[in-house]
Amino acid sequence: MIDDRAFGPDVSIWDDIQSTPQKVEMAKAKAKGADFVIIKAAQACYVDLDFVWNWADAKADGLLRASFDFLVWDVDPNKQADFYTKLHEKDQPELGYYVDFEWWKTIPSNALAICDAFCNRVENNTGKPCGVYTAPAFWLQYGSLDPKWTKRPLWIANWGPSKPAVPAPWGKEDWTLWQFSATEDGIAYGCESKAVDMNKFNGTYAQLRTYCGLTPIVPPSNAIYSAQLRSMATQLTSIAGQLI
């Protein structure tokens, strides 16, 4: 399901076998064509054990990065948000912050209020919107139709269909990230896990860079490109002549 939209995996400690010295190799994901990676930073008030490595390695290999925090119900959401954002004080995500709002233990009646409080705190701490990761069925049961949520980017988990099912209050095309698979080739993308989650950005790589506030990559003009090809052809002809 790879098309002209920018794409990339999401990774965490679960994509690394702790009994081996090897870590997730972001260079392999880049070589497979990935444009970005979504990295788990924390859960409750604990840092993901591979976060520091994954965060630095992704940057070194030229992948744009989003970050997410797995929200729990039994820890103060403000404390969770403070812990999460502090991890990014010196190196912020280009593609944004996200809260993972999904099934975990027994869902309390105030689950959405906990999520909202977490998002508000992240937004106050960073000045950036806090996106929401969720699944259609979960949001329909535990989410809200309040249009205020549309100010927060949606990362929707919906495996299999040709286009994601987007729950209200977001519009049908108003998703930012779509986790479309949980069974892509993990080894090929640098993981130790056999399978890895895969995601699309709702736009091309050029649009992704614009979304991240980065300078667009400008391809060479036809004249410059032709000159480069002529130079390469001349060099190859010269080398071939020396070999004859």
Task: Write down all domains in the chain, each with its CATH number in brackets.
Answer: 7-219 (3.20.20.80)
Tell the burial category of 147 from Cβ atoms under 10 Å away from its Cβ (0-12, 13-18, 19+).
exposed
| pTM of the predicted protein model | 0.87
pLDDT per residue rounded down to tens, the chain (244 residues): 558 999 999 999 999 987 787 899 999 999 999 999 999 999 999 999 999 999 999 999 999 999 999 999 999 999 999 999 999 999 999 999 999 999 888 999 999 999 999 999 999 999 999 999 999 999 999 999 999 999 999 999 999 999 999 999 999 999 999 999 999 999 999 999 999 999 999 999 999 999 999 988 765 555 555 556 556 655 655 555 555 4
